[in-house]
Amino acid sequence: MNISVTVNGKPYQRDVEPRTLLVYFLREALGLTGTHVGCDTSSCGVCVVVLDGDRAVKSCTMFAAMADGHEITTVEGLVQGGKLHPLQQAFWDCHGLQCGYCTPGMLMTSYALLKHQPNPDEPAIREALSGNLCRCTGYQNIVKAVQQAAAETNAPAPEPVAT
């Protein structure tokens, strides 16, 4: 079947098998391998992408066909103008990643969280990330990173310096 999706701002039209999962569509049809696969039971969250700008979805739990007519943001779409997104920068600053396998899913879940709750407290962050497993970091630095990104995103833009 034929589907039209916008991924990271770019429109695509593709033929897909009805059973193709969104995650394999992104990885194999579009070559966006930042979105990972870590389980068969919708448990690990390494496949999370953002649907229509603010909804974190597990792309292993959705058929590509269900994305027809929708917008998807993957980890590859976070960098804007060559600059890391504040979440990416914060994960780097706070040592919020080790092997990096969970990182794209963590970033996308956090991205959707901040869209809904620009100022989440620690319990809210832990709650939001509870569908994303990480075997390496113990989550503490991930939580810290999300807090840092939130603080930065909310900080008022610097006043133009008078010359």
CB of 158 to ligand FES, least distance (A): 32
Tokens of 72: 């998807």
Chain-centroid distance, C-alpha 45: 10
By CB under 6 A, tell whether 134 contacts ligand FES.
Answer: yes
- The footprint of ligand FES on this chain (CB under 6 A) covers a number of residues equal to 22
Strands 2-7 and 71-73: parallel
Binding residue (CB under 6 A) for ligand FES from 35, 109, 110, 137:
137
41 counts as binding another protein under rule CB under 8 A: yes
CA distance 119 to 3: 36
Sheet of 10-15: strands edge to edge? 10-15, 2-7, 71-73, 48-51, 55-58
Q: For residues 145 and 122, what is the distance between their CA atoms, to the nearest angstrom? A: 11
Q: Rounded to the nearest whole angstrom, what is the least distance from the CB of residue 155 to another protein in the complex? A: 21
Q: Which two tokens stand for residue 64?
A: 């590509």
Residue 22's binding partner, choosing from another protein, ligand FES, none, with beta-carbon cut-off 5 to 8 A by kind?
Answer: none
CB of 129 to another protein, least distance (A): 4
| Site for another protein, rule CB under 8 A | 17, 19, 24, 27-28, 32-41, 43-44, 46, 74-76, 78-79, 84, 88, 91-93, 95, 97-104, 107, 125-127, 129-143
